[in-house]
Amino acid sequence: MASDEKHVIVTGASSGIGRAAAIALADKGYNVHLIGRNAERLAKVQAETSREGVQSTTYQLELTDKAAVQQVFDEIYAKTGRIDGLVNSAGIFYTTDVFDYDDKSWKEIMDVNFYGTLYPSLALLPKLIAQGFGSIVNVTSVDAFDGIANYDAYAASKGAVTSLTKTLALEGAPKNVRVNAVVPGITDTEMTHERLLENIEKYRKKVPMQRAAQASEVAKPIAFLISDDSSYITGQSLHVNGGWRLA
């Protein structure tokens, strides 16, 4: 049933930047639909995002399963009658070596980081276009813009999402549907915490602000791009990196 209530779907909501984005959006009054795989962690984020006037719902979903993604998105839309935004934050990271290439790692990283963004976007875009509004925010990485040794598959997967962001923005623009990316630098989450501790001096030199971002500092720009405050911004990559690329 369509109403004035606003609804946002967040993938990767069980952890890190996705969790923080769900909290930032709930703070702005959006009802949040939290997607992840780990039921226990999803339940924790559900509690953190439930507040008066805001409903938080969880969905356990493997994002590389295209049919399952379509089914869950259809179910959410059937219940809400409108979706205002989608945050594609789910992702995985590990190093790969171009000289020790293996299909399995490349496929896994592309499956989650690229197809795990493409499938939710394709499941939702026709609905957003039909309703005449909506905003998709993809979470990419500074590594999509700067080549980085041993991050071959990860950087390529985020480069693919950067291109997808621009193409889908063109498709959606005539119907008031916006598609943007937030490009985090190093952010202290489960994905990076150990690497951060091991490489703290390297990152201090690389990042002019001399520290990692907190997930909430990436989440607020995501919430801005979801909201009508960014109503004329589409097809853009918003870098949130403490000045990384200036150094």
Look up residue 204 and give its amino acid: R
Q: How far is the CB of 17 from ligand NAP (least distance, A)?
A: 4
Site for ligand NAP in 56-115 (CB under 6 A): 62-64, 89-93, 112
Residue length of the chain: 247
Query: What single-letter DSSP state applies at residue 96?
Result: B
Query: Pick from 85, 116, 134, 221: which binds ligand NAP (CB under 6 A)?
Result: 116
| Binding status of residue 186 toward ligand NAP by CB under 6 A | yes
Catalytic (active site) residue 119: no
- Catalytic residue of the set 151, 154, 203, 232: 154
The DSSP 8-state label assigned to residue 104 in this structure reads: H
C-alpha–C-alpha distance, residues 174 and 39, integer Å: 38
Strand ranges, E, within 45-129: 56-60, 85-88
Residue from 8, 9, 16, 177 in contact with ligand NAP (CB under 6 A)? 16
Q: Which residue bears the tokens 């592309």?
A: 110
Least Å distance, CB 4 to ligand NAP, is: 29
Asked if 46 and 57 count as a contact pair (C-beta separation under 8 A), the reply is yes
Report the interface residues with ligand NAP, using CB under 6 A: 12, 14-18, 36-38, 41, 62-64, 89-93, 112, 116, 139, 141, 184, 186-187, 189-192
> Would you name the residues annotated as active-site residues?
154
